Structure 1
C-alpha cells in the first residue's frame, strides 16, 4: 500500500501526463496509470522519472485520439 504523499505524487504525474487526453479515452489513461504505478512499485519515485515513464506509456497506448 502506498502512503498518501506517494499517492498524491502519482495522481499529479498522471494528471500532468494525461492533461491533453480526452476524458473518454479511459483505456489510454488506465495504461499510463498502470505503468506509472508499476514504476513506483519498483522504487522509481522521482517525479521526472515517473513523468518519463508516463509519457512513454502514453506514446505506446492504443488510442483513438492520436
Structure 2
C-alpha cells in the first residue's frame, strides 16, 4: 500500500496530465492512472518521471477515450 504522500503525488500527477480530459472520460483517466500506478509500484516516484509516463499513456489511449 502506498503512503499518503505518494498517493497525493499520484493524484496530483493524474490531475495535471488529464487536465484537458473530461472527468466523464473514465476510460482514458483509468488508463493513465493505471500506468502511473504501475510506475510508482516499481519505485519510480519522481513527479517529472510520473508525468512523462502519464503523458505517454494518454497519447497511446484509444481515440474514443479522448
Normalising TM by the smaller chain, what interval? over 0.9
Task: Specify the alignment match of 2:29 in structure 1.
Answer: 29
The answer to which of 39-48 and 55-64 deviates more is 55-64
Task: Provide the aligned length of Structure 1 versus Structure 2.
Answer: 66
Give 5+ residue unaligned stretches, structure 1.
none
Which one has the bigger helix percentage? 2
Q: TM (normalized to structure 1)?
A: 0.94
Q: TM (normalized to structure 2)?
A: 0.94
Task: Specify the alignment match of 2:63 in structure 1.
Answer: 63
Q: CA deviation at 1:23?
A: 1.9
Task: Specify the alignment match of 2:17 in structure 1.
Answer: 17
| Counterpart contact for 2:27–2:65, Cα < 8 Å | no
Give 5+ residue unaligned stretches, structure 2.
none
